[in-house]
Structure 1
Amino acid sequence: MTETDKRVPTCPATVAIDADERTRIRALAEHSHAVITRHQDDGGAYPASPTFSAYRGYAWLRDGSFTAEGISRYGDTESANRFHDWVDGVLRGRREQVDRLVAAALRGEPPPADEMLPTRYTFDGADGSDPWWDFQTDGYGMWLWSVVTHADRHGIDIERWRRGITVAVDYLLSCWDRCCYDWWEEHVEQRHVSTLAAIYGGFTTVATLLDTRRADAVRTAAEDIYDLVREEGVAAGHLTKWLGNSAVDGSLPACIVPFGLVAPDTELADTTLKAVAHDLDVDGGVHRFTADVFYGGGQWILLAALLGWNLAARGDTDGAMRHLRWIAAQANDDGDLPEQVDHHLLHPETKAEWVARWGEVASPLLWSHGMYLILADELGLLATEEP
């Protein structure tokens, strides 16, 4: 189909580090697994953060899909299965709603954003009771990628989640090209490159598992996404934050690994990673974007892991280890990883207003711990013995 009509392989690197550092890395991995599984809801949902006022009681498909990937790589198939069971159940319960949304789109009457599926759910699969920036499509593509990748890794029959998969596919086919909020729940008026990449990754990962009609439709949509991003989502040789923009975003490396919209060995991948590092990487910690004012615009654990993951996949183990070490250094005395840290705020004058609104930065953030597991595994450091 395209240069990236193949899954990005997972091939852990071999990293030469001393025994003490390997022990510390493994200890934080064990703690990360414990944090994630201790706070996993009985029904399978991964809460974004168990203590943060705006996050507790809610589960995002975006956060959860990456958290489940980290747990799957760690080898805890039961926990990851329970999460995917939960998403599957939530989506099966939305079958009629999605059918109505699809029918409206086919009539040329796209529903307003507030009628679309939410980006976060309560643990029992309901919509939230408080207002949120809800219309975000990336999480549904991420879940398709995550559930199939997990099933392939552990030899699990995908039939277990097929009904939920078809709901997600039908929903995305009806709205993938619409403007929506981005990963950071901002700019609903734009079409975001990282969002399109997540949908592309979901479509290309799941295509061979679908019936002929759906398979043809997702392959066509993936080709359209590929062409659209090349035409409108590239400036100065790198991917951009949204179509027609020139800025970069810390989520852009995901367009390369794991979602495969850009092949890792291309000039576009190289230039994009360099642009993200140049604009957003400080001492191994990665900002979301230069105009970020959320809690002052700190450095995000999960984005450091995402950039490190991409470097590891390209064979730059030294660069990837730089990010892994930075992440490990951000753990508090209990070993918990926050959402972001404030060592290098882009807009420090804005932090106080967020603290007053929601309290201190979320910690622990399960997505941060999940991404740490992914990067440690990509570097071959989750094994109990040195490779």
Structure 2
Amino acid sequence: MAADPPTTEAAPGTRRAAVDVILRHQHPGGGYPACPAFEVYGYSWFRDGAFIAEGADRAGAPDSARAFHQWCARVLTSRTGRIEALVGTLRSGGTPASGDWLPARYTLEGDDEGDTGWWNFQLDGYGTWLHLLAAHLRRRSADPAPYREAARLACDYLGASWNTPCFDWWEEDSHRRHGATLASIEAGLRAAPAAGLVEGGTAERALAAADDVAATVRREGVRDGHLVKWMGEGGAVDASLLSALTPFGLAEGELAERTLAAVERDLLHEGGVYRYLDDTFYGGGRWPVLSALLGWHYARTGRTEEARALLHWIDGQFTRDGLLPEQAPEGQRLAPGREAEWLDRWGPNATPLLWSHAMYLILADELGELDSAPTRGPQA
């Protein structure tokens, strides 16, 4: 029988207390629901979950992070035959059937969700998991051995599939290759060998694939000196590209500076960050996740006061119950006329979004403010 979800002691009134929401909703088996109160977000994504585990780990709940990483390892190793067959098809030049690809999300028990009719093929989560698993292992001086088989499967899968169009972070644009997706894959393929998660031929193939990913992004995913949303077309940016700077590190130097400037110019507004300019989801509001991602990069690059301002903006997005939503409930929207259709379809904005809580904790930790009280109280 699975153990009860891990717990931690957090001082009331501090930012660290935000981890309690994460721990309260973690499944006994280790999976995190994206949002426990939002019907269609009741699944566990590798991407969201890896960031959630990172936030929990930084906030003093390593058992929670470990439980999630173990859950991911079980999900992968229980599908060994499926993954190896898929990789074999790709390496031989074949085309997998649509149902052969690994999904982006699973039930909290680790099962495929079944035929819900909701798009589910994304590659970024597996690279994100490898990258943040490696960070967890370093932070806790933990043995990589229990994860090696799962990491081998993930590396082989990503190494064979990375150039395949798939859905992006937002479950959109399945026919394109996305800058943020490729950045996560490149980071995961480099992190696994560095952390001792894969060795020998698997490590060599992973690093060779990472080099190919990076070369492709620089060749096809740069316009006017900055990263763009999609490979080979247009000049639009997406705030998910911030991950290519921090934490994934694909973009450095002038490329990182120009990408940051483009995101700031187009998507940063009064402390909050939009996903992309054509966003209509719930009217296209600003996302605490993305504000924290930008703040994380600011903190890493010495722009401390700007990072702190973003943290303070997120402080103001908490509900009276201490919950962070997916989108800021107030403020300018990019497409305000499109909000009602989503309210009619799915109800109010997803709250709490555990990913929002996690990114808030990561930013607070980067600034050394986990034990501080929020500087702005929760909204009415």
- Structure 2 unaligned spans of 5+: 1-10, 374-380
* Offset, 1:383: 4.8
* Offset, 1:384: 6.9
The answer to whether 1:186 aligns with 2:172 is: yes
Of 275, 288, 295 in structure 1, the residue corresponding to residue 275 of structure 2 is 288
* Offset, 1:286: 0.4
SS in 1 for 2:44: strand
* Offset, 1:157: 0.5
8 A Cα contact 1:26 1:382, kept in partner? no
Deviations 1:257-308 (CA, angstroms, capped at 9, x unpaired) = 1111012xx1111111111011001111000000111111110010000001
Of 192, 214, 237 in structure 2, the residue corresponding to residue 226 of structure 1 is 214
TM-score normalized by the length of structure 1: 0.90
Measure the CA separation in 2 of the matches of 1:160 and 1:102. 22
Measure the CA separation in 2 of the matches of 1:162 and 1:384. 38
Larger RCO (alpha carbons 8 Å, 6+ apart): 1
Of 325, 329, 334 in structure 2, the residue corresponding to residue 346 of structure 1 is 334
> Corresponding residue for 1:327?
314
Deviations 1:196-254 (CA, angstroms, capped at 9, x unpaired) = 00001101111232221111111111111111111111111111001123100011110
Of 292, 300, 306 in structure 1, the residue corresponding to residue 293 of structure 2 is 306
SS in 1 for 2:16: helix
* Offset, 1:26: 8.1
> Corresponding residue for 2:224?
236
Measure the CA separation in 1 of the matches of 2:13 and 2:144. 32
> Corresponding residue for 1:10?
none
Report the count of equivalent residues: 358
The answer to whether 1:376 aligns with 2:338 is: no
TM-score normalized by the length of structure 2: 0.92
Measure the CA separation in 2 of the matches of 1:258 and 1:158. 21
- Structure 1 unaligned spans of 5+: 1-24
8 A Cα contact 1:250 1:276, kept in partner? yes
CA gap of 1:329–1:321, structure 2 versus 1, over 3 A, is: same
Of 75, 78, 86 in structure 2, the residue corresponding to residue 101 of structure 1 is 86
Of 1, 4, 16 in structure 2, the residue corresponding to residue 30 of structure 1 is 16
The answer to whether 1:359 aligns with 2:339 is: no
> Corresponding residue for 2:160?
174
Measure the CA separation in 1 of the matches of 2:295 and 2:273. 10
Measure the CA separation in 1 of the matches of 2:363 and 2:12. 12
* Offset, 1:163: 1.6
The code of the aligned residue for 1:275 comes to: A
Of 35, 40, 43 in structure 2, the residue corresponding to residue 49 of structure 1 is 35
Query: Identity, % of aligned pairs?
Result: 46
The code of the aligned residue for 1:220 comes to: A
The answer to whether 1:149 aligns with 2:138 is: no
Measure the CA separation in 2 of the matches of 1:165 and 1:80. 16
Deviations 1:84-133 (CA, angstroms, capped at 9, x unpaired) = 11111111101111011011112211213332000000011111131221
Measure the CA separation in 2 of the matches of 1:254 and 1:300. 14
SS in 1 for 2:207: helix
The code of the aligned residue for 1:92 comes to: T
